[in-house]
Amino acid sequence: MKKILLSILFLIAVLVPACAKQFVNITPMPKQMEVGEGQYVLPKKFTVGAARLADSLKVEAQRFVDVIGETTGCKGKLSKSKKADILMTVDESLGYEAYKLSVTEKGISISASSARGFFYAFQTIKKIMPANVMAELNAEEAQKILPWYKVEAQPVVPCVEINDEPRFWYRGFMLDCGRHFFSVDDIKHILDGMAIYKMNYFHWHLTEDQGWRFEVKKYPKLTEIGSVASDCRMTDMEKGHYWLGKPYGPYFYTHEDCKEIIEYARNLHIEVIPEIDMPGHIMSALAAYPEFSCNPEGEHKVQTYQGGVWSDVLNVGDPKAVQFARDVLTEVMDVFPGQYVHIGGDECPTSAWEKNAQCQEHLNNLIKAGAIKDLGQDNKHRFRPLQSYFIKQMEQHISARGKKMILWNESVTAPGADLNIIKSTGATIFSWNPCQHGAEVAAKLGLNAVITEWGPGCYYINRKQHDGEGEPVAAGTGRKSDQLPAVYAYKPVPDKVMQDPEKSKYYIGVQATFWTEHVSDIKYADYLAFPRLLAVAEAAWSPEEKKDFENFRTRFTADTVLFDLTGRLYGKHFIAK
Ligand code: ACM
């Protein structure tokens, strides 16, 4: 056995230097990377550690050891030796998410200043090992899925020097679980995908006109009634749209489900941001509690059709409806420990407020008190400042708990929005449409912006990814501007903003956003999201000047092995031949 191993090592030593630089498959591309010659063969028994490690760092090392143990023939253990095979060094000079990684033929050393940094270093090591390691499968399991897949008992790691840290500290993915419901396991599968590509915020869109998915103990009808649609337009990748023909639901997440997901995400260094969309996109709540609508006597139902914007919105002129919104957010904040709460604020028509006596009176009183802008009797956006005021009320409730609020860009771009009020909230603006304009307005107000482009070069990765024949139905056209190269080429921070640090400092990150109007299962979600999610992840992490589509294409083509092993569907349109 030893002889065979020595011969393999000899062959590697002779052949590798003769070839071009070896392929080191890391997405997102690190900030600095020098590919060396040769490889490190992980010993059958190996050690990971350092002389003194905080418990939180030991946790990261132990997780790595566990995965290697489950997926390869190598058994690791934590060590206090300065001579550990994988040596961990705490380097306080490195940024919170940064790490350094050095792989030589003799061993591996990593340094970071935090558990997060070590986590990313271990993710990188797993990523450049054979794909079954990241897939968390052993040889037998991997070969059952891909019979051609060869697994060495001892994984090899290419020699490389990496000095890495992200471009943006916000690197997000949003999943709409309102229009269609995704199970706890589906969400874990998404979180796994995010973590491979070093994304760190999961924006969980929990409520929609089509379904209320968050259990609120104070208002049980929200899930008894609001999480059930009388029918539902489903989408099948082969058959296209069809009607379910029976009730869809009850589908919702209990507090325990949420906590399970939060904990799972936490282990992957992902923060979960709950979104409760208000005061629009809230018909599922009004179906349960019509008294909080502008027309309690009228018909209110959970929508069955998956698209659209409806005028049935929360009665922001009714103090009881406003208190209802606060109460919901209280439970959200009780369950979600993260620093952010997203309250939507998108696509909210004002027509119901215009007809409602309470809202009319509320508007007049606020104008009289000088609390909102008076746009004038003839202005068709006259009622919009009511939304700005409502947002301020929610922000006061959120910041009283020491948390921060997030809004969609309509809060600053809808005609008539009271920008002074929104500025005073200190909210982070998720800008989608018009994306760059929204971010520009936010930055001018001194508010942080996250770029999630809806238009060309789109980060709305639920849109059709190609316009070729046989492509399953989805939002958008699938023409060039929705396709992978356009997503990859999109510059989240335009050059002219980049040149002005006073502006660019407000561009805190990017997000891939996934709506589920036309997607009702996780397989189809994977198919549309992959590989465009990787393009957004690279925009989030890698320096702009490092981006190179052909290089990216080679890397994601290699990653299709990982996708296949983990049962992910993906678009094959741009795979390297
Ligand atoms: C949105 O797409 N309505 C934020």
For ligand 1, the distance from its centroid to the CA atom of residue 184, given in whole angstroms, is 23
Q: What is the position in ligand 1's atom list of the atom closest to the CA of 430?
A: 4
Angle among Cα 157, 163, 169 to the nearest 5 degrees reads 115
Of 507, 409, 498, 497, give the one whose Cα is nearest residue 449.
507
Same CATH fold assignment for domains 2-164 and 170-348+384-565: no
Whole-number Å distance between alpha carbons of 428 and 339: 12
CA-closest residue to ligand 1 atom 2: 432
pLDDT at 307: 82
Fold category of 2-164 in CATH: Chitobiase; domain 2 (3.30.379)
Q: What's the gap in Å between 544 CA and the centre of ligand 1?
A: 26
CA distance 413 to 436: 11
Ligand 1 atom showing the smallest separation from residue 513 Cα: 2
pLDDT value of position 9: 43
CATH number 3.20.20.80 given to 170-348+384-565 = yes
- Which residues are CB-neighbours of 210 under 8 A, at least 6 positions away? 178, 179, 180, 229, 232, 284, 302, 303, 304, 305, 306
User: What residues are paired with 41 via a beta bridge?
Assistant: 156
Pocket lining for ligand 1, CB < 6 angstroms: 346-347, 408, 432
Condensed to tens digits (0 to 9), the pLDDT of residues 180-204 reads: 999 999 999 999 999 999 999 999 9
The CA 513 to ligand 1 mean position distance, Å, reads 9
Q: What is the pLDDT of residue 4?
A: 45
Is the pLDDT at 16 greater than 50? The verdict is no
Q: What number of residues does the chain have? A: 577
Average pLDDT, the chain: 95
CA-nearest of 406, 409, 384 to 340 is 406
Pocket probe mutation, ligand 1, options 203, 313, 346, 409, max atoms within 8 Å of Cβ: 346
Q: Which residue has the tokens 């919104």?
A: 325
d(CA 493, CA 446) in angstroms, rounded, equals 16
Ligand 1 atom 1, closest CA: 346
Q: Which pLDDT band holds residue 106 (cuts at 50, 70, 90)?
A: very high
Q: What pLDDT, on the 0 to 100 scale, is given for residue 350?
A: 98
What is the average pLDDT across 313-327? 98
Asked if residue 90 lies in contact with residue 50, where contact means CB atoms within 8 angstroms, the answer is yes
Domain-by-domain residue ranges, the chain?
2-164, 170-348+384-565
Q: How confident is the model at residue 3 (pLDDT cuts 50, 70, 90)?
A: very low
pLDDT of residue 306: 78
Span from the CA of 486 to the centroid of ligand 1 (angstroms): 20
Answer left, alpha or beta for residue 320, where phi above 0 means left and psi between -120 and 50 means alpha: alpha
pLDDT in tens, 267-304: 999 999 999 999 999 999 999 999 999 999 999 999 99
Average pLDDT rounded to a whole number, residues 10-20: 47
Element of type H or E holding 389: helix 384-399
With a CB cutoff of 8 Å and minimum separation 6, the contacts of 197 are 27, 28, 533, 534, 537, 538, 541
> pLDDT (tens digit, 9 = 90+) per residue, 17-72?
444 689 999 999 999 999 999 999 999 999 998 888 899 999 999 999 999 999 99
Cα-to-centroid distance, 346 and ligand 1 (Å)? 6
Q: From the CA of 347, give the closest atom in ligand 1.
A: 3
Q: Looking at residues 443-452, what average pLDDT do you find?
A: 98
Handedness of CA 298, 302, 303, 307 (dihedral sign): positive
Residues 6+ away with beta carbon under 8 Å from 532: 461, 465, 484, 487, 512, 571
The pTM assigned to this predicted structure is 0.95
Atom of ligand 1 nearest to the CA of 408: 4
CA of 314 from ligand 1 middle (Å) equals: 18
Lowest model confidence (mean pLDDT) among 22-26, 81-85, 126-130: 81-85
pLDDT digits 0-9 by tens, 513-531 = 999 999 999 999 999 999 9
For a ligand 1 pocket test, name from 174, 207, 278, 432 the mutation site with the most ligand atoms within 8 angstroms of its C-beta.
Answer: 432
